[in-house]
Amino acid sequence: MTLRRLLRRTTVSGLAAGIVSLLLGRGNASARDDSPLQVREGIETVSLPPPETDGDVAVERAIANRRSRREYAATPITRRELSQLLWAVQGITDPESGYRAAPSAGARYPLEVYVVVGDPGVDGLDAGVYRYRPEPHDLALSARGNVQAELRAAAVGQEPVGRAAIDVVICAVDERTTREYGERGRLRYVPMEAGHVGENLYLQAEALDLSTVAIGSFRDRRVRTLVDASPDCRPLYIYPVGARA
């Protein structure tokens, strides 16, 4: 593995981000002058527009129209749409308590959300792997470059994964829930929560006139490595999302 590849695969911590910037000879850590990447406390982040909480599609209409859609237009989605999708998945809806858009047993919030951005996947955003951070409602860059082909291979070659603008990968840190609920947490509560999150994503995509499909068939370890998740993070779902074909 080359040094550049090693650095690209390194989860960006404060120190690593600084070293990457220095080694790649950039004053700031963004790849392009117009890139929205900012370095905050040594982490490369992308801010997201505030989510809408008052859309004009009735929830009944979104439920009635929801379908698994596996064809996508070859156009990027917008940062506003990405923001809305991530908010629906794990956004904080009550800042005082920290409660989120989807329910969680004991409010343990075991789910981590990664976004694999294609090329071009999101307007103005470089291809790469990003981790959603609910509290600041932003993205932290994990790795640069388009890994959609590898992710598709890990998902037993399923074409939607490689063709979508982005792939949202839902992983679970079981321990956050099993600490409280033991094995029942791992077997029941955590997968149930992934289901809640997945339905929110389906309905939000429908309301935005985007297309998505739940993907449950993939090689766990390969997906985990690709999104640079920690070894205790178990991938549960991949959701390719793209503009309607």
Ligand X SMILES: Cc1cc2nc3c(=O)[nH]c(=O)nc-3n(C[C@H](O)[C@H](O)[C@H](O)COP(=O)(O)O)c2cc1C
Q: Where along the sequence are the contacts to ligand X (CB under 6 A)? A: 67-68, 158, 213-217
Comparing every residue's Cβ against ligand X, the nearest one is: 216
Q: Nearest approach, Cβ of 222 to ligand X (angstroms)?
A: 15
Residue with Cβ nearer ligand X (70 or 79): 70
3-class secondary-structure state, position 229: coil
Residue with Cβ nearer ligand X (20 or 238): 238
Q: Nearest approach, Cβ of 239 to ligand X (angstroms)?
A: 10
Q: Are 225 and 8 in contact (CB under 8 A)?
A: no
Q: Nearest approach, Cβ of 212 to ligand X (angstroms)?
A: 10
What is the DSSP secondary-structure string of 50-84?
A: PPPSS-SS-HHHHHHH------B-SSPBPHHHHHH
Residue with Cβ nearer ligand X (128 or 240): 240
Residue with Cβ nearer ligand X (97 or 217): 217
Q: Nearest approach, Cβ of 148 to ligand X (angstroms)?
A: 16
Separation of CA 19 from chain center: 25
Angstrom CA distances, 21 to 58, 137, 146, stand at 46, 24, 19
Residue with tokens 């590849």: 5
CA-only gyration radius of the chain, Å: 17
Residue with Cβ nearer ligand X (16 or 214): 214
Which of 231, 236, 226, 230 has its CA nearest to residue 116? 226
Residue with tokens 């099993």: 178
Q: Nearest approach, Cβ of 191 to ligand X (angstroms)?
A: 9
Q: Are 130 and 146 in contact (CB under 8 A)?
A: no
Q: Are 176 and 109 in contact (CB under 8 A)?
A: yes
Q: Nearest approach, Cβ of 36 to ligand X (angstroms)?
A: 32
Residue with Cβ nearer ligand X (50 or 216): 216
